[in-house]
Amino acid sequence: MIHSADIREWRNHSVVDPKGHKIGVLEAVYVDTTTEPAMATVRTGLPTRHHLAFVPLDEAIVGPGYVKVSYSKTLVKKAPSVGMDGILPAESEQAIFQHYDMPYQTGAGGERQLARR
């Protein structure tokens, strides 16, 4: 279980896939507005063209200097992303969940599911 109190320490850790391939660097963690940390943004791309790709944190393992996710580097690199200074629009959340074949549900009043921590 990932504890939300620990997530501030993960920033700038390497994010690796199940085979240990580096995907990028953890930029931010998004929490499910009803539970615990749910997604992270990973800084990927060339140094002059970075973007932030979203990856779920279910089954993530935190080690010294890295966060290992349960999704392949290829899948993460094809995930919906935002620019380095971008903010995730509410209407784009569902596409992220669909990319990873995960259920998406807004709050009872239509509130978004993810909140940046």
Residue 100, token pair as written in the block: 């990873």
Band (pLDDT 50/70/90 cuts) for residue 69 is very high
pLDDT in tens, 72-113: 999 999 998 887 776 777 788 889 889 999 888 776 666 666
Q: Is 56 helix (H, G, I), strand (E, B) or coil?
A: strand
How far apart (Å, rounded) are the C-alpha atoms in residues 88 and 93?
A: 7
Q: What is the pTM of this model?
A: 0.77
3-state helix, strand, coil in the chain (%, to 5): 20, 35, 45
pLDDT: is 6 or 57 the higher one?
57
